[in-house]
Structure formats: structure tokens, C-alpha cells
Structure 1
Amino acid sequence: MAPWRSSRASDDGVLDSPESLAREGYACHGAELYRYALSRLSDDGAAQDAVQETIVRAWRAGARFDPARATLRTWLFAILRNVIIDHAAARARVAALPAAVAERGEGQMPDPMGSVADADLITRALGLISHDHRTAIVETYLRDRPYDEVAAELGVSVSTLRSRVFHGLKQLRHTMKMMVVEP
């Protein structure tokens, strides 16, 4: 039996699975998580999605919950905070798309050859930055995987992964500028 401690009083005080942990987390703190997400995202649907993603991540990471380090409530709010950060980053990427289209000129069709050239430039530039930075960018930014999942897979903290993405994107931009030949 796994050592998950229940935040609710139960007979033995132990939950028997990550599923039980996630189920109890939602039952005890779902409404509170939703209110917090709604206050941060200002969108009912996005707040519901954020709470759902939080519970799914809690279920997946249930084995890492340590009641000696934090209560179930605190742990769930930490997960929700990361979900909201990921959601905001995704919103920013989507918001940047119309600006990129506007730079080409309204009504213009995208240039498929330019897209191929851009993809080739990015691929070559990715090959020139450090392995850690490249992995962080590919897994989180390009494959759009959750930071906590990638961090666990790589054996680093989420803050370390976020730092690698930040500095990796900075290196990537610099490398691409150096690779582009200006007319």
C-alpha cells in the first residue's frame, strides 16, 4: 500500500492509490480550485479545463505526493498554479500568430517555400544550441508537453526546466540571427 495520507479523516488515514488521491482532492478542494482558476483566467471554460488538468496531473503524479512536505490542498494548488502558467503561455503563443500573419500583409497567402526555409533554419539552429536547452524547447515548446511531466522525465525541477526553455529560446534566437544572411 502506498503511503499517501488523506487530508480527510478516514479510518486508517491512508489512500490506496493515486486515483483515490485525485478523487479526494477534487471532492475536498475542487470548488476552491475552480474559484482560484476563474479569478486568474477570467473565463469559466478555461477555469474548468484548468481544474480538470490539475486533477489529471495529480492523478499521474500521485506517487510523488508527500504529505510530510505539504497538505493535499497545498500540493493541488501548486499543480494548478503550473497549469495556469502553461495556459497563459499557450495563450501568448496563440496571440502571437495573428501578429505574424499581419507582418506578411493582410490577405496574402503564406509562402510555403518560406515556411520550409523557416523550418530548416530552426532545425539547423536547434542543432547548434546545447543538448539540455534543445531538449527543453522541443519537449515543452514544440511538442507542447506540460512542464511538470517533462521535468519529471528529465529528473530536474520545474524551475530548472523553465530556465532551460527561457535561456534556450534566447540562444536559439541569437543563433538564428547569426545564421541569417542579411541582403
Structure 2
Amino acid sequence: MAADGRAAGYARGEIDDDLSNLISRVALRDRKAFDQLYKVTSRKLFGVALRMLKDPAEAEDAIQEVYVRIWQKADRFRPGQAQPMSWLIAIARNLSIDRLRRRKPPAVPITDASDVADSAPGPETMTAHSLERARLDHCLSQLNARRAEAVKSAYVEGYSYQELADRFQLPLNTMRTWLRRSLLSLRECLKENAL
């Protein structure tokens, strides 16, 4: 059993090395490496986009954008700091999130507008949201300023762990630890300050 685990780990390491090598070659504008990278990763990245977008045609469009982004940003990949497949998945995930944000609900014809109920929250709901927001702001202010900024960037603005690690110039695992501990602190603070 141990031998199998070592063999699987070794195979995983070889795959990561191969992907890292392909990404490095893509950074040097090697089209053959880009074609090979597409062949070995497109199915996985398409699956990521499809799970998020729920539309095969839109997922295909998103994948085209993903590979344009990979071509443009391959020089930003740091083999020692990130797993290559994780880096590629983060690109697919972030572009899918961008597409989801750009989606707009279908327009209602003006003749049907009078039949549409007002979806704006009522005064009670707005007050409750305002109080919740104040509680959250209070608890965020209890965190270290950089950690609070990282939490907002990750969970409000949708930045990936890798993007945050790069932005704060920290190792990826340190950023994960920051976010996990910050969320635990927020949860405790929110419990203590329950309405």
C-alpha cells in the first residue's frame, strides 16, 4: 500500500513538473507547448467552467477566454509557489465568476411592468440588513487591517487565494491560514455580538 502511495505521489509530481514546464514554455511564447497544454488541461478546465456557468455554450466561450488569459499571463506563474493545475483552475474559476457577474436578468417589457411586484426590501428588512452590516463591520474592525482587507477581497470581491497571496506577498498556505483564522474570529465575534 505504501509503495502505491509513493508511486501515485511520484506520478502526481511528474504531472505537475510537466505542466509547470509547459506553462514556462508558454511564457516564452512557445505555440507547441501552448497546444500541448490545451490538450492536457482543456477537459478539466471546461468542467470547472461548466459546473459554475451551467451552460455548455457559455462554458466553451469561457474556456477560449481562459486560454487567452493563460497565454497572456503565463509569465506570472511561479512553480514553487503554486501547483500548476491549481493556478490554471483559478484562472478558469475567476473568469467564470466574471461571466456570472456580467449576466443580467432579462428585461421586462414596459407593458408588463405594472404587473411586477416591487422587489425592493421593505423598511424592516432594510433595518435588519443595516444592523447586520454594522455588526459585520464592527467584527471586521477587530481583525488586523491587512487580514480584514484579505477577507473582504476574497469573500466580497472574489479574489482567489493565489491572487491574494501574490498581492500581499505571502506564501499561498499562509494566505489560506490568514483567511481561515480570520473567518473563525469573525464567527466568534458575530456570536458574541448577536442581536
Per the shorter chain, which TM-score range?
0.5 to 0.7
Q: 2:45 touches 2:92 (CA, 8 Å); kept in 1? A: yes
Alignment-derived partner of residue 187 in structure 2: 173
RMSD of aligned residue pairs (Cα, Å):
3.9
Is residue 2:140 matched to residue 1:140? no
Which structure carries more relative contact order (alpha carbon 8 Å, separation 6+)? 2
Q: 1:18 touches 1:62 (CA, 8 Å); kept in 2? A: yes
> Residues 130-170 of structure 1: CA distance to partner in whole angstroms, max 9, x if unpaired?
33431220111112123222211111122221222122111
The change in CA–CA distance for 1:19 and 1:46 in structure 2 (over 3 A counts) is farther
Alignment-derived partner of residue 132 in structure 2: 118
Gaps of 5+ in 2: 1-19, 98-117
| Superposed counterparts of 1:12-51, under 5 Å | 18=27, 20=29, 26-39=34-47, 42=51, 44=56, 45-46=58-59, 49=62
> Residues 57-105 of structure 1: CA distance to partner in whole angstroms, max 9, x if unpaired?
5633514445xx6xxxx73x231244567699x7xxxxxxxxxxxxxxx
Matches of 2:129 and 2:154 in 1, distance apart? Answer: 21
Q: Which residue identity lines up with residue 60 of structure 1 in the other structure?
A: K
Identity across matched positions, percent: 13
Query: 1:173 Cα deviation (Å)?
Result: 1.3
The change in CA–CA distance for 1:112 and 1:7 in structure 2 (over 3 A counts) is closer
The change in CA–CA distance for 1:7 and 1:113 in structure 2 (over 3 A counts) is closer
For normalisation by structure 2, the TM-score amounts to 0.55
The count of residues paired between Structure 1 and Structure 2 equals 147
